[in-house]
Copies of this chain bind each other. A is one copy, B any other.
C-alpha cells in the first residue's frame, strides 16, 4: 500500500493531524527552495523526536573520501556531497520557562501543514498543550524569497490561550550541524567567526577541503498583537552558535509574532572577505521591505512562474495536485540563473546520491526547462557540460582513452567523476549519448543553431571519439561491438551490446559528422578553430564512420525485436504479472545476482531508445517492443513510469498511460518507493511533465515544426499547458471533444496536429479532435 495522508487539493499540499511517524516524510514533502538555497520542512522550534535536518546551499559541497570494500583502479578519490548547511531557521520557544517541543506536548490539536504552491510558502498551524498545561495557538509561515534569493523569511505567531503567560523567542543560527550522509563521519564545516551587531547575528564558516566560504545570517522583529515592539537583546555567542532572546508577557488571547529573516551569502557570489557586509545589505533590504511586502513579492514571482509553466487538469484533483507538485519542485530546485549550477536528483530535499548532475538532466529535465522557460535556461544547462569538457577528457584518460575522447561523469559536482561502483562509474557509459542527444534536442526545439559552432561541436567531437575508441571489432560477428556496459536498466551489469548504448553510439557519431559538415559550410571560422584545436583529421572521421556503419545490434528474427543485450532471450522469461507479489520490490527482496539473471527491467532501456528516437521507428515497431519489454519492467527507478506513460499514450492505451502518469506524478506524494523520508525525486518530476505534454499532448517536433497528437484519459474533463517553441508561446487545451491551440503574443506559428499542418496566428485558436 502506498502512503495516503496528503489531502488532495489543486494548489496546496496539505497534512492534517500530528503524527510523529510522518515527520521525516513531511519534512521532505513540504521542503521549500528558491534555486539558490533550500530547506527541508524542519521545525523552527526545538524538536526532540525523529527528524532529518537539512538546509542546503546550491553549489556548496564536500568531497567526502571514497568508501569502498574493494578498491579498483580508476575510482575517484572522493564523492562530492551536497551537505547540510548551518541552520538559519531555528527559533526556540519557551512558555513560562518550559521549552515548547511538539514531541513532549501533552496534546496537539488542529495540526495542519500547508505548502501553498501557487504562492510559494509553507505554513504550520496547531494548538498545543505544553507539559506545564499552558496552551498556545501557533501559526508559522516560511518562504525562501525568489526575488532576493539569499534570504528566507519566517513569521512565527503564538497566541496565548486559556491564561496569561510569559513567552520567550530565541532565534538562533547554528553551524554545529551534522550530515545524515557521511562516509567517515568527517566534520564538513569549519566555523571561523560568530558575531553580532545590534539584533543581527552572523556565522562565518567554510566547508573543509572545498573551502566554500559562507556567512549565515539573521535578524528578527517582534510584534505584540500585531504592533511592533522594540527589542534589544544581547547576543549570546558560542563556538558554533549565535542566539538572541526576546521575552514578552501575554495576556490570555494576546499574540506575539516574530519575523525572522535569515539565509546565506556565499563566496560563489561575493568576495569571501565581504560576506558579512553582503549579509548586512540583504538584511537592510528585507527589513526595509518588511515581511508582508516580501511575501507579496513572493506571490507575484510564483505567479509569473505559473503563468508559463502551469498545467491544469480538470476533473481529477489528485492528478492536478501531482503535476503541480512536480512543476513546483522543479522550479524550487533550478531556475536557470546560474550556469555553474545543475539539477541534483534530490534537489534541496535530501542528501542521498550526492553530486548534483546525472544524465537525468539531459535525458529528462532539459525538455521541461526548454519549453517552460526562456531558451537561455536550457542553453545554460548545455553550457554546464561544455564547461566540463576538459574534465570529461581527463576522466576518459584515466580509463585508458586518448586523443581527446571524452567520457562525462556519471555523477558530478564540478566536472570530475565522483561515483564509485565499477558497473556504473566505468560501464554506464550511455550517459555520454544523452549529453549529445540534448544538444540535438535543444537545437530542434529552440532553433538556436549558434550553440553548435560556439560550443556544442567540441562536446560532440569528444563524445564521438570516445565511442569510436570504446567499440571493438568482433571478427566473429564482422561488426563493431560494445562490450561490458550497463544500460539505463541498472538491473543488468557488464553486458555486451546493450542495444540502447550501441544505438546511441552510432547516432552520436553520425550526428557529429553531420554537424561538422554544417559548421564547415556555414561557420568556417569556427570550423577552422575547432579543427585546429581538436586536430581532427579525415582519417579519424573515417574510423568513426566505420564504427557507425558497422555497428552490431542484437536482434531476434523470431520475435522481430531488438534485444536489450546479447543473450537476453536465454533468461527465464517470467513476466512481472506472474512474479509473486511478495518478491517485490526486487531491489529490496533479492540479492544482486538474482536480480541480474532475472529478466526484470528497472527502467526503460530498449524503450528509452524508442522514446528518444521515436521517429526512427514505426508505430508497429514501438508496439512490438513495448509489448515485449513492458511486461518485464518493474519500474523500480523513478525515471521509468514517465517513459512508459508517454509510449502507452502513443499506442492509445489510455488506461495504462493514466496509471503510469499517476505513478510518476504522485511518486513522492504517495511514496510509491517507500523512501520519501530521504528526500524527493526531483529529476523524475520533469518526466512527469513530459508524460502530459509529450504523452497525452503528443507534442513532437517534426521537420522544424511543432506537432501534436492530443489524447485525454477518461478520468479527465480537460487539461492545458503552455510551451515556448522557438520563442513563441503556444497554449494547448485538450478536452474530451478535442484540442485547441492558442497562440499568445504577436507572432504566428505553424503546427501539425495528427499529421495535418495548421498555421496559427497570434490570438487565434484552432481546434483539433482528440483521437
Contacts and interface: CB of A to CB of B under 8 A. Distances in A.
A74 B592 contact: yes
A74 B591 contact: yes
A494 B483 CA distance: 12
Contacts of A597: 472, 483-484
A475 B484 CA distance: 24
Interface string A565-592: 0110111110000000000000111111
Contacts of A594: 399-400
A567 B496 contact: yes
B426 A70 contact: no
A591 B475 contact: no
A593 B484 contact: yes
A106 interface: no
B472 A571 contact: yes
Given A421-B70, A484-B596, A597-B483, A474 B589 contact: no
Interface residues of A, number: 46
A422 B424 CA distance: 14
B474 A73 contact: no
A420 interface: yes
A653 B72 CA distance: 36
A580 to B, nearest CB: 11
Integer count of this chain's copies in the complex: 2
Given A484-B596, A493-B494, A472 B572 contact: yes
A141 interface: no
B593 A422 contact: yes
Interface stretch (A61-69, A268-276, A626-634): A61-69
B566 A567 contact: yes
Interface in A578-623: 587-594, 596-597
A180 interface: no
Contacts of A197: none
Nearest to A183: B69
Interface string A466-506: 00000011111100010110000000011110000000000
B570 A476 contact: yes
Interface in A264-301: none
A254 interface: no
A484 B72 CA distance: 20
Given A398-B591, A493-B493, A566-B567, 12 more contacts: A66-B69, A73-B587, A73-B592, A74-B592, A473-B572, A474-B569, A475-B569, A481-B570, A483-B596, A484-B596, A493-B494, A494-B596
Interface of A: 66-70, 72-74, 398-400, 420-422, 426-427, 472-477, 481, 483-484, 493-496, 566-567, 569-573, 587-594, 596-597
